[in-house]
A and B are shown apart, each in its own frame.
Chain A
Amino acid sequence: MKAVAVIEDIREMGAHARDMIPLLSSVADRLTSLELWVFYTGTPPEAFPCWPVPLTAVHRMAVAHDPVPDQLLDLLMRKAAAADADLYLFAGTDNGNCLAARLGFRLKAGTCLGVESCHMTGETTLAAVRPVFGSRIQARFVLDTPPWCLSAAQNPGRNPAMAEPVCPVCDHPQPAPCRPPWLTSTRVIPIETDDRLSGADRILVLGNGVGSQDTLERLKPVARALGAQMGASRPVVMNGWLPLDRLVGVSGSVTAPSVCIVAGVSGTGVFCAGIRHAGFVVAVNTDPDAPVFRAADVGIVDDLVPVLLELGRLIRGDEPA
């Protein structure tokens, strides 16, 4: 089987490879070829992630700064027509999903996005498992006859090592796709962010039960005492109490801390998917029936504020108030 891993955002190459590696590992024994297609801006990349099977080729494709998916699709389609691969694998980001769905449509491929695991079920059939019903349930899809276009669900953990490839590195001979006529201008305003949440060893996640930004600010010292990164459920981010890079869940960060304290979070399916890989989970909620307790090792049914403030005091070793 011939597979292609597509990196559409060079800045996220390590994280995207990390997400794709479990899927490639599960079909590694069937792979006869694995190519890496990388879109990049500026200086061509020289080092690439290490994969579960050796790369057979790296294709570097220069593109305009911050391209939209439409700028990549035609180039991708031309490459796919020549490559005739069985499996095209993308990251499960917005743009990765967009490219996978649209390339799948054009190739008449079996397409499945946000895939958590996959395996071959026959010579030419692939089973892919991904969440449905708000991540409360998983579904197993059987994709007949290649080609297949998949995007990978987030996989927490460390990024793979980077190394200079021993396989051929090909540069796409065509000039970078220019701006499409419908796109007059693009302005990019970077957000100061870091990767500390997805790689954190301890996190304190606050949900809507925190009630207000003032209360949230009072609890920041508790996170510091814990040595934990602050995370948030979607309502907290939508209220603007914490920035978007603090979002935990399917549409934010999927985390794998050794200790995870989740307070004031009801525990939707899409949220719990973001703490599923945590080592030890503590849930604090006033509702004894909150679904979050099903994802926790231990739970406290009570108001999160006095619980967390007392916890912070105990960790710091302060005298009781």
Chain B
Amino acid sequence: MNLTVCFKIIPDYEMVPVHRWEVSGLEPLALRFVRQAFNCYEESALEMALALGETGGSARQDSGSPASAVLGENRVARTALTVDDERADLFLRHLLAVGYDRAVRVAPDQDLRFFPGAVARIIAAAVNRFRPQDLVILGPRGGEGDHCQTGPLVAELLGWPCLMGVSGLALTENGLLEVRTITDRAHRIYTVAPPLVLVTGHALDFSCLRVPTLNQKLSARKKPVETLLPADLGLSVGYLAGTDPLPAELILPAPKQTCTRIEGADPREKARNLFDRYLKSRLVS
């Protein structure tokens, strides 16, 4: 089983105080120097792929041996792929340390935050380069643009089927894949034959990516982060043309209003003030 997990690092929006958000052209100024983090859905995708085919995982985690040390025929070779600048290399090294066999960064020559079609073309071209590949796994809303389109578009470009809302994966004995999806109304368990594009949802069992040990980190330092240009994938500079509409403007929503702070000597007094002044009348009606 050869799989590629696509991820995007994004600014940690929670680090930015609300009043610091401002907009200049298509750039929220406050984000320029903000710490980067894995997108939470793609963090789930990355962990889900690591867990696929593990016999127990402890040997691999402790020794820093390759991720492919799994069940004989069910060997899983994992590639982590991102379309980003060199800021992503630190995250790719983390992924090599926790068990990814290969870490690849495609360095675009343009800002692609609002080009899900262009990103999908790069991913599809990379997956074609990595062939044979059985699975491509992505998050539902990867980059800052929150497009929700990249996974389905990769499926279209590769001519593969696509399942959404994926919460878990398992290999079956006959070489098929069991894909679990979840909505608030049902669990669905699909038995499928790859190749396939999977878009993660609320993966409750894979909320956090594992942390590498010191040995794993040291071992990963010897492994390369491969860097490709779109041209290396056969994509010309015109690959963006006509793929996506650009935003005409960014709009900073106004806060609801000034929040009135309820004071009091202790939590109980604050609760009483809240009840007496604001809630009592509203709860009666």
Contacts and interface: CB of A to CB of B under 8 A. Distances in A.
A247 B156 CA distance: 31
Interface string B16-57: 111001010000100100000000100000000000000000
B131 interface: no
B71 interface: no
A184 B146 contact: no
A36 B166 CA distance: 29
Interface string A292-321: 011111111111001110110011000000
Among A93, A102, A110, A240, residue most surrounded by chain B Cβ atoms (within 10 Å): A102
Interface in B127-171: 140, 144-149, 151-153, 155-156, 161-165
Given A187-B189, A280-B282, A300 B261 contact: yes
Interface string A214-255: 000000000000110000001001111001110100011000
Contacts of A291: 14, 17-18
Nearest to B11: A133
A307 B271 contact: yes
Contact of B275 (A181, A269, A311): A311
A68 B161 contact: yes
Contact of A259 (B148, B161, B271, B283): B283
A132 interface: yes
A95 B164 contact: yes
Given A138-B250, A298-B259, A98 B271 contact: no
Nearest to B17: A289
A249 B107 CA distance: 33
Interface string A121-165: 000000101111111111111111000000100000000000000
Contacts of A66: 188
A282 B146 contact: no
A266 B14 contact: yes
A268 to B, nearest CB: 6
Among A141, A181, A258, A280, residue most surrounded by chain B Cβ atoms (within 10 Å): A141
Interface in A86-136: 93-95, 97-98, 101-102, 105-106, 110-114, 127, 129-136
Given A98-B162, A259-B279, A137 B261 contact: no
A154 B52 CA distance: 33
A44 interface: no
B262 A180 contact: no
A181 B21 CA distance: 49
Contacts, number: 251
Given A244-B182, A259-B282, A307-B267, A138 B156 contact: no
Nearest to A311: B271
Interface stretch (A27-35, A53-61, A167-175, A189-197): A189-197
A315 B283 contact: yes
A281 interface: yes
A140 B248 CA distance: 6
A261 to B, nearest CB: 9
A245 B251 contact: no
B255 A105 contact: no
A269 B13 contact: yes
Contacts of A62: none
A138 B152 CA distance: 23
Given A68-B163, A137-B28, A132 B149 contact: no
A237 B188 contact: no
Nearest to A121: B248
A69 B184 CA distance: 18
A195 to B, nearest CB: 10
A183 B192 contact: yes
Nearest to B270: A300
A7 interface: no
Contact of B199 (A94, A183, A245): A94
Contacts of B40: 234
B236 interface: no
A101 B153 contact: yes
A194 to B, nearest CB: 10
Contact of A190 (B114, B185, B245, B279): B185
Interface stretch (B61-69, B95-103, B200-208, B220-228): B200-208
A306 B23 CA distance: 39
Contacts of A129: 251
Contact of B250 (A113, A132, A182, A276): A132
Given A280-B278, A282-B279, A307-B271, A294 B187 contact: no
Nearest to B195: A182
10 contacts: A94-B183, A102-B153, A105-B153, A137-B28, A140-B251, A259-B282, A294-B255, A297-B278, A299-B260, A299-B262
User: Nearest 9 pairs between A and B by C-beta?
Assistant: A94-B164, A310-B271, A306-B267, A245-B184, A139-B247, A101-B152, A184-B191, A189-B187, A187-B189
Interface of A: 11, 66, 68-70, 93-95, 97-98, 101-102, 105-106, 110-114, 127, 129-144, 151, 180-191, 193, 202, 226-227, 234, 237-240, 243-245, 247, 251-252, 258-259, 266, 268-269, 276, 280-283, 289, 291, 293-303, 306-308, 310-311, 314-315
Given A69-B164, A299-B259, A315-B275, 9 more contacts: A102-B153, A134-B13, A137-B21, A137-B253, A182-B196, A186-B188, A301-B261, A310-B271, A314-B275
